[in-house]
Chain A
Amino acid sequence: QSVLTQPPSVSAAPGQKVTISCSGSSSNIGRSYIFWYQQFPGTAPKLLIYDTDKRPSGIPDRFSGSKSGTSATLGITGLQTGDEADYYCGAWDTSLSAGVFGGGTKLTVL
């Protein structure tokens, strides 16, 4: 059972937009920066979004991050088949004094 809650899977057609939610509490998402990662099978995760809504260099602006209260959202527009991957959110939990991740969301581009 992960501290942060993500839907196990989402799907959409190529070219469409999808959002992945990440729900937490006032001790994590509510007061911390959010991080999003993309992971392909057999490879290390890659940073997609940091500090809730910032993109590292090289990450296209099709990817966006936002937060409202104790929930965060990853948005992906102009879906491509190459976006099929697992996506994870993470946030620092001030009560645990530890990082916490969501359980991950598998994105399928139909």
Chain B
Amino acid sequence: EVQLVESGGGLVQPGGSLRLSCAASGFTFSDYWMVWVRQAPGKGLVWVSRIKEDGSEIHYADSVKGRFTISRDNAKNTVYLQMNSLRVEDTGVYYCGRERWGFPEHWGQGALATVSS
């Protein structure tokens, strides 16, 4: 059974940083692209970033380009999202997913990141 467990969320001030992790199990992690999607409170889904199986290809939404960095450690079956220069509008639940054509096939339960002073 595919399992994805996010961690690392929390409260941070504007301009601060957070690092989200997503631990995967139940499939061969190194065979799949991985993706992050976020959802602001009461709002819709927003695509954030994706990373290729070996980390050699990465894409970002314009809204996070230059501030967020996606990475992965295939030895640890984990994908990360380093979020810097955080803004109030980055507040929301961040979901990781095992990806298919850019979109999650399987979703984690989400990690809440709150950016507030």
Contact = CB atoms under 8 A, between A and B. Distances in A.
Q: Tell whether A pairs with B.
A: yes
B72 interface: no
A7 interface: no
B26 interface: no
A97 B59 contact: yes
A93 B84 CA distance: 25
B1 interface: no
A90 interface: yes
A99 B35 contact: yes
Interface of A: 2, 32-33, 35, 37, 39, 44-47, 50-51, 56, 86, 88, 90, 92, 96-104
Contact of B105 (A2, A56, A97, A98): A56
B46 interface: yes
Which are the 5 A-B pairs with shortest beta-carbon distances?
A99-B47, A92-B102, A104-B44, A44-B107, A35-B103
Contacts of B45: 37, 39, 45, 88, 90, 101, 104
Given A86-B44, A90-B45, 13 more contacts: A45-B45, A46-B107, A47-B107, A50-B103, A90-B47, A90-B103, A92-B102, A96-B62, A98-B60, A98-B61, A99-B35, A99-B102, A99-B103
Nearest to A43: B109
Interface in B83-97: 95
A109 B9 CA distance: 35
Interface of B: 35, 37, 44-47, 50, 59-62, 95, 100-110
A88 B44 contact: yes
A88 to B, nearest CB: 5
13 contacts: A32-B102, A35-B100, A35-B103, A39-B45, A44-B95, A45-B104, A45-B107, A47-B104, A50-B100, A50-B101, A50-B103, A86-B44, A101-B47
